[in-house]
Amino acid sequence: MSIFYNVIAFLGGLSMFLYGMRVMGDGLKSSSGGAMRDALAKVTNKPAMGFLLGMLVACIIQSSTATIVITVGLVGAGFLTFHQSIGIVLGANVGTAITAQIIRLMDVSSGMDSPLYFFKADNLAPLALVIGIVLIMFVGTTKSKNAGSIACGFGILFMGLIYMSNVVSQFGESLSGLLTAFSNNYPLGFLAGVLVTCVVQSSSAVIGIIQSIASSIGVTFSSVFAVIIGVNIGDCLTTYLVSRIGAKPNQRRTAMVHVIYNIFAATLCILLVFIGRATGILNDTFWNTTLNSGGVANIHGFFRLVPAVCLLPLTPLFERIAIKIVKDEPIDAEDKSAIAALDALDERLYNSPAIALAQVERVVLEMSSIATHNYDACVRQIYEYEPKRSQRIQERETLLDSMTDAANKYIVSLSPYVMNDRDTHQQNALLKALICYERIGDLAVNISEEADLIHANGKQFSANAMAELRIAFDAVYEILDITTRSYIDKNPVLAAKVEPLEEVIDDLVEDMNARHVYRMVNRLCDAVNGIYYQSILTNIEHLSDKCSDLAIYVLEGSNEDIFGQEHSFVHALHHSNDEEYIRTYQKEYAKYVKALSAVSVTDVIEAPVYKEEKEAKEEKPKKDRSFRKKTQK
């Protein structure tokens, strides 16, 4: 039974490790990471600089595994590209050798009087958790919560490593025996190094065990070199297996580069040893010399540093091999089109601002399509919940965020090249449109998340509420369609139809809230369902607001007096006697509010009764707002 509990404990530590990586990645993604992303890009665009960064980080946190896992997380969060991560991976391998030198100097462990004691995992992990929980619970700002998530993820990740190490430490004597059992059999010694490192999940820990053995009974170079090379391979295999769980292709490629590099490095080390032995450079005296702890650290450092320096120029080769091994996942046609639009944002077009802005316009149009598809998907989730659809909604949202970031950065970089008023006006309009469509995507995700909660909690709206929501959803379908068509065609006539429909949606939401209050007061509605219902209505109203903003930007194209006076223009329009505005408002009001009045507030219905054929069969009196006034008394 003890083996069973040890396995459970080990898997629990692994779960903490994976969850910590997820929490840290989510925190990085949610934070305002533009500055951090740019800083990392500047450092890691050159493999040599990335190499130094990886070496430094691995030395500080004393774990190449953790360094590479964090790097994989940064790739997944979009802070690093796969190409930029390769140098860090190579550097992390050297950094862990520096840790062995530290272990040597500190006599196997860092004492409390050493500054490095602060960076030991069992000290750093709880400190990160304390900092994280303080930022989340006691500071409470958005930025502090994101920073707290990063810190907590970091702490949980290391606590998982510590937990796994504690379980494995119970088998320390067996592991030590395994490392020295094959001193005269190089292939088996190599496999012993691979196996023990896979179990312990830390090359530094295994090298520390070998250093301890060397300090107590001594080991010869001939008996230990194959084991040390095996340790390097075991380290990368463990990292790859942990990092690939639930990872995206570029994250798996980053972990794969670690494997590919170490295979090349191990091959190079074996060749160097046997060439040295054949040429007499490694004579019998050195071959059979007894190594102490420092000697093991030196051999380990040599096997890490020399291959890294020799193989650093081959990073493009490692990149190509990893891409060939780890294939891209099938890309949705929608994503392909969006990626193609992003690829068209070429800095070489800066000298032709009109052409460059046209490429940004292409991105905006792709975003309009993606945001509209996400809205349709979130509505479907309310009526026909499907978990896979939720995943696709999140994928679209991530794509929208990436497109917004890339297009914004492109427009800002283009600014010095924009000289004439026409291009300046288009540039401003594009910036506003990007924000609007990104926000429409966010609001769609908000509705989807409400659907997730309803499904997870086993809740369900009444048929009445579902019929009411369908009317509001249909109104948003229409306003999105009109807005997108007016934006694509730059049609002010279509754009003028958006604002009156937006007002009708506001009236709808107000009426639906009044109905909801009536049901709540009379205990005809579940309180939890009521919260979900109100949240969905809020997002519907905000969706129509964003459509109104986009339509105003289109109207600015034919009326320059609106520019900079958008709020005043809308206010004046609402209080004007503009015949077209009034006619459109009355038409849309009759269409949607009449449909709402056909839905009973309290009587249970079997199906929505807002369809035109139902309206034709049963004439309803025109809505006079008396119901809302009655509930608001």
By C-alpha distance, which of 329, 321, 302 is closest to 94? 302
Give me the pLDDT at residue 229, please.
87
| pLDDT tier at 618, thresholds 50, 70, 90 | very low
Pair 498, 363 in one domain: yes
What is each CA distance from 160 to 11, 71, 171, 418, 522, in whole angstroms?
9, 17, 18, 52, 51
Total domains in the chain come to 2
Looking up tokens 């007061």, which residue turns up? 521
Pair 13, 48 in one domain: yes
Which of 258, 291, 325 is the last residue in one of the domains? 325
Per-residue pLDDT for 516 more than 60? yes
Pair 341, 287 in one domain: no
Q: What is the dihedral of CA 89, 91, 96, 97, to 10 degrees?
A: 140
What is each CA distance from 307 to 192, 214, 260, 273, in whole angstroms?
22, 24, 12, 13
What is each CA distance from 134 to 24, 55, 121, 138, 345, in whole angstroms?
16, 31, 20, 5, 42
Pair 314, 439 in one domain: no
Please list the residues that pair with 219 across neighbouring strands: 291
State how far the Cα of 487 lies from the Cα of 465, in Å rounded to an integer: 33
Domain that holds residue 600: 333-632
The mean pLDDT of 503-513, rounded to a whole number, is 91
Looking up tokens 């008996």, which residue turns up? 223
Which of 296, 325, 354 is the last residue in one of the domains? 325
Range with top average pLDDT, 106-115, 146-155, 198-207: 146-155
Residue 274 is which amino acid?
F
Pair 318, 337 in one domain: no
Give 336: exposed, middle or buried? Use CB within 10 Å, 0-12, 13-18, 19+: exposed
What is each CA distance from 572 to 466, 499, 566, 576, in whole angstroms?
35, 12, 10, 6
Average pLDDT, the chain: 78
Q: Express each pLDDT in 213-223 by its tens digit.
A: 676 666 778 87
At 552, list the tokens.
Answer: 């105003």
By C-alpha distance, which of 102, 136, 132 is closest to 120? 102
Give me the pLDDT at residue 543, please.
94
pTM comes to: 0.56
At 296, list the tokens.
Answer: 């093991």
Pair 608, 464 in one domain: yes
Pair 297, 422 in one domain: no
Give me the pLDDT at residue 620, please.
38
Looking up tokens 């190089």, which residue turns up? 186
Lowest mean pLDDT, pick from 128-142, 146-160, 519-533, 599-613: 599-613
Q: Express each pLDDT in 347-362 by its tens digit.
A: 888 888 888 899 999 9
Pair 242, 353 in one domain: no
* Residue pair 233/194 in contact by the 8 Å Cβ criterion: yes
Question: Three-class SS string for 264-330?
Answer: HHHHHHHHHHHHHHHHCCCCHHHHCCEECHHHHHHHHHHHHHHHHHHHHHHHHHHHHHHHHHCCCCC
DSSP string, 341-402: HHHT--GGGTTSHHHHHHHHHHHHHHHHHHHHHHHHHHHHHHHS--HHHHHHHHHHHHHHHH
**Which one has a higher pLDDT value, 412 or 116?**
412
Q: What CATH number is associated with residue 457?
A: 1.20.58.220
Pair 44, 78 in one domain: yes
Give 524: exposed, middle or buried? Use CB within 10 Å, 0-12, 13-18, 19+: middle
* Residue pair 543/550 in contact by the 8 Å Cβ criterion: no
Q: Express each pLDDT in 56-97 by its tens digit.
A: 877 766 567 777 877 887 787 667 788 888 888 888 888 777
At 288, list the tokens.
Answer: 């059979």
- 441 Cβ partners below 8 Å, 6+ apart? 367, 370, 371, 374, 396, 397, 400, 401
Pair 155, 304 in one domain: yes
State how far the Cα of 119 lies from the Cα of 117, in Å rounded to an integer: 5
Pair 272, 408 in one domain: no
Q: Express each pLDDT in 563-574 by its tens digit.
A: 777 777 887 777
The mean pLDDT of 584-595, rounded to a whole number, is 89
By C-alpha distance, which of 475, 564, 462, 567 is closest to 515? 462
Give 346: exposed, middle or buried? Use CB within 10 Å, 0-12, 13-18, 19+: exposed
State how far the Cα of 478 lies from the Cα of 584, in Å rounded to an integer: 13
Q: Express each pLDDT in 174-219 by its tens digit.
A: 555 555 566 567 888 888 888 877 776 667 667 766 766 676 666 7
Pair 460, 526 in one domain: yes
Q: Express each pLDDT in 541-569 by its tens digit.
A: 999 999 998 998 888 877 777 777 777 78
What is each CA distance from 504 to 475, 586, 587, 591, in whole angstroms?
9, 9, 10, 10
Which of 268, 290, 325 is the last residue in one of the domains? 325
State how far the Cα of 212 lies from the Cα of 210, in Å rounded to an integer: 5
> 578 phi and psi, to 5 degrees?
-60, 120
Question: Three-class SS string for 87-147?
Answer: HHHHHHHHHHHHHHHHHHHCCCCCCCCCHHHHHCHHHHHHHHHHHHHHHHHHHCCHHHHHH
